[in-house]
Amino acid sequence: MEEGQPKAIALADYEPPGFLIETTDLQFDINEDLTLVTATLKMVRNPASEQAPVDLILNGGPGLVTQSIKIDGRELRSNEYAQSTDNLTLFVVPENFQLVTQVEIKPQENTALEGLYQSGDMLCTQCEAEGFRNITWFLDRPDVMSKYTTTIRADKSRFPILLSNGNEINRVDEGKRHAVTWEDPFNKPAYLFALVAGDLEHIEDSFETKSGRKVKLQIFTEIHNIDKLDHAMVSLKNSMAWDEKVYGREYDLDIFMIVAVESFNMGAMENKGLNIFNTSCVLARPDTTTDAAYQRVESVVAHEYFHNWSGNRVTCRDWFQLSLKEGFTVFRDQQFSADMGSASVCRVSDVFVLRSAQFPEDAGPMAHPIRPDSYIEINNFYTATVYEKGAEVARMIRTLLGAENFRKGTDHYFNRHDGEAATTEDFVKAMEDATGIDLKQFRRWYSQAGTPVLTASSEYDENKKTFTLKVHQQCLPSACEATGEKAPLHMPLALALLDENGSDIRIDGGANSRAMDIANIVEDEQFTVVLNFKEREQIFVFEGIDTKPIPSLLRGFSAPVKLNYEYSRDELLFLSHHDADGFNRWEAGQRLAVGVIQDVVQQIINKETFEIDDRLIQVCANVLDEAIAHDLDGLVDKEMLARMLFMPSETYLAELVDVADVDAIHQAREAVRSEISSKLKGALLSVYKLNVSSEVYAPIAKDIAQRAIKNTCLSYLMIGDDTEYVPLAVAQFESSNNMTDTSAAIRSLVNSSSQDAVAAKEKALATYYDRWSEEALVIDQWFNIQASCPLPGALAKVKALEKHAAFSMKNPNRMRSLVVAFASMNNVNFHSTDGSGYRYLADCVIELNTINPQMAARMLSPLTRWRKYDKPRQSLMKGELKRILEIENISPDVFEIVSKSV
């Protein structure tokens, strides 16, 4: 490692803290130019520490201006401590003592948005992972838990609302100023600290817990957003009731608060009793919010609330254990969303995110296990691997154990580790101890990176009436690991066998499955068997199978793997129409679509005439026929049908090949979509018209599904240079009473290559902006729709929008809506052969590096995947990464990702 480069932190080097902080008393004196922070800490030596340190080393940040340091009331002399940018070392401290420090900070200058910072006219905090050290000198690590009392003093007129963790215990009027004191009775690490000061309005409700306690619920926002909080409140109450019912977890404070903040690096933060949310994850109103955004609000509110137990009451010992709280809680919010809406659609959405974000991460330079071995900057490990793959690992445990045993395991985990900082090992051990089921081999999921590949083959013996399934697993080394194949993993392989009528064949775990290690059998309207797949290769024999079955493999996506099985296209067509498992029905259609699009890609490369397999057209025709036949009876899930009409994304198609031809993939996918549109235009129009509704908007499952299939049909009808349906899209845009239909209509116009759409799209964009210019989240969509448009000239449009008065590089939501949308959602333009897209993204990263390093690092992902593309593009992408690496004052966040990538 070169001198001056950031140093990696390793899990193997973990040591318990030498000191603990029993109580923390914080005094914030907020003034116009600066904030004075006085911290009084009751320090004690940690009896669990093997080496009792002589000195105390506290964490801090470059923005701390130290005013005084006292131990047991005595001011320290300059030779009794040493201060650097990041640390304060106190020499030869007592066993137990009171430490009082006073520092000045300037929240208004904190553009990194970590610690205490200004968002609009309010002050707020973001302390996870290591933001608290930018507030005061502290032992800023998750295994140091303390009881906090916080007093906030500020001007009454500018900051009438003063909030912190816990329960309010005192309020003092000091003339033009006032002070409010909050006390949190529960131990917590510093990353869960929160403070908000501002001129805010709120809505209020209450929730009665199962034990009869009444909890006050408040959601705060700036006054212009006060009419967008009702859905979040409903979601919160639903989350509280669900967590009591499904996990037995009851809320523990007298009050639960949420605050909406416009400038926020993350989606939301689970600070104890005072959640701070990005406005995009809490605000919702029919005319400004799409169905997808409504669902996101519900999901994120649930996620942050569920953290009260899986993250707060039981937190993580160190940041290597991040998936302990995040992966588990993502799984919990996935379960909740599935119970609130369509379980099949939710599962498809989960897997779509996994495949489009996590699988590429596993195959790239930032590959890491869900429990990483090392990191330079922990902010870089808030990843799809830690969150989404971590959720899949929790889901696999539940699948292997069964719902009842999993509940026993979680109860045991929460009860055993309540009030502690735990590890992933503690979680798995609790599952074993509660159920007696051995998960020794399963633990490899926590330490091995990479996406396993399952290769399966089958054989049917008509004479013996047996169906034999052979499955082989392989997981090749990732960028973070040494060469050599990894040890086999223990995973649940869920499957069913379908007869010639498409019905599940009963597998009862008895005579017809003697040779198999069955973990679980799910009997509902289907017969799904869950097999313990542990070996590098296993053979499973099903007896008493009277006719040759079609296997439905990996039902519900029972393990986060890539599955290779040579289904014929007729079999995929059959499964897409008959499979009782909603996910596998969708998956069959996707597999067929992938094969067809890959055929067309090769035809384009070979300069041959397109031949598009009619079986894919038939899949879509079956879906539309089903939507028409069951339009009014409610027997089909229209949202699921809409998902089945989606073609695999260009990003996913690129990940399936060693070297992606960006232009051929884009052209092939559009050709297939155009063929579907052309051959099924009548059915598409019929389904569209059947699902037009003038009813008052409601974010309920039935109505969401109706809008989903209608707008999917509209997107197909608008394909082609000569489409006759521009007036249909214009009419929907002009008459819509909800943002779902409005945004779908304008997106179809913006993406249309028809000359008839040119004038219509410009008029619609101008009307949209004029109507919603004061609604920040709606304008985020306005930027996003234009940045993600695949038509030529997108980069020039993005650069022009960057100069728009509504754009600010300092606002993370605005950056995501324009720059990230272009780089991540507009493959064909971002990967332009002249390298202009790469150069533009690198310029943005360089500019943002010193303003908001965390955001700059997160934008880099598209460039890190350079190995996936042809040699000329590889050279251009690597060139931009090297240019970033050479800038002065490169942040640790950006350095870690770029250095690993090149």
Task: Report the alpha-carbon angle 330-332-337, nearest 5.
Answer: 90
675 exposure class (CB count in 10 Å sphere: 0-12, 13-18, 19+): buried
Taking the C-alpha atoms of residue 785 and residue 715, their distance in angstroms, rounded to an integer, is 14
Taking the C-alpha atoms of residue 275 and residue 253, their distance in angstroms, rounded to an integer, is 13
CA distances in angstroms from 312 to 120, 188, 273, 702, listed in the order given: 28, 7, 10, 35
* Residue whose token pair is 């690490």: 189
Is 304 labeled as catalytic in the residue annotation?
Answer: yes
How far the first Cα of the chain sits from its last, in Å, is 15
**Which residues have C-beta within 8 Å of that of residue 65, sequence separation ≥ 6?**
103, 104, 105
DSSP annotation of 504 reads B
**Which residues have C-beta within 8 Å of that of residue 740, sequence separation ≥ 6?**
290, 291, 292, 704, 707, 711
DSSP annotation of 195 reads E
- The helix-helix angle for 424-435 and 403-417 (nearest 10°) equals 120
Please report how many Cα atoms fall inside a 13 Å half-sphere around the Cα of residue 326, on the Cβ side.
Answer: 23
Kind of pairing, strands 550-553 and 491-498? antiparallel
Taking the C-alpha atoms of residue 831 and residue 659, their distance in angstroms, rounded to an integer, is 13
CA distances in angstroms from 640 to 279, 426, 543, 630, 708, listed in the order given: 28, 38, 34, 13, 9
Length of the chain: 902
Taking only Cα atoms into account, the Rg of the chain, rounded to an integer number of angstroms, comes to: 28
Taking the C-alpha atoms of residue 446 and residue 368, their distance in angstroms, rounded to an integer, is 10
Amino acid code (one letter) for 611 = E
Residues 428, 476 contacting (CB under 8 angstroms): no
Taking the C-alpha atoms of residue 128 and residue 370, their distance in angstroms, rounded to an integer, is 18
DSSP annotation of 697 reads P
- Helical H segments across 373-493, by residue range: 384, 390-401, 403-417, 424-435, 444-447
Taking the C-alpha atoms of residue 581 and residue 587, their distance in angstroms, rounded to an integer, is 10
DSSP readout, 854-870?
HHHHHTTHHHHTGGGB-
Helix (H, G, I), strand (E, B) or coil at 306: helix
Residues 16, 50 contacting (CB under 8 angstroms): yes
684's tokens = 């598409």
- The helix-helix angle for 614-629 and 569-578 (nearest 10°) equals 10
Distance of CA 701 to the CA centre of its chain: 22
**Which residues have C-beta within 8 Å of that of residue 799, sequence separation ≥ 6?**
840
Catalytic one of 222, 270, 304, 802: 304
860's tokens = 């880099």
232 closest CA partner among 199, 197, 258, 200? 258
Please report how many Cα atoms fall inside a 13 Å half-sphere around the Cα of residue 385, on the Cβ side.
Answer: 25
97's tokens = 């003592």
540's tokens = 């499973």
Give the Cβ contact number of residue 441 at 10 Å: 15
127 closest CA partner among 616, 136, 52, 803? 136
294's tokens = 């409504």
Distance of CA 501 to the CA centre of its chain: 39
Catalytic positions:
304
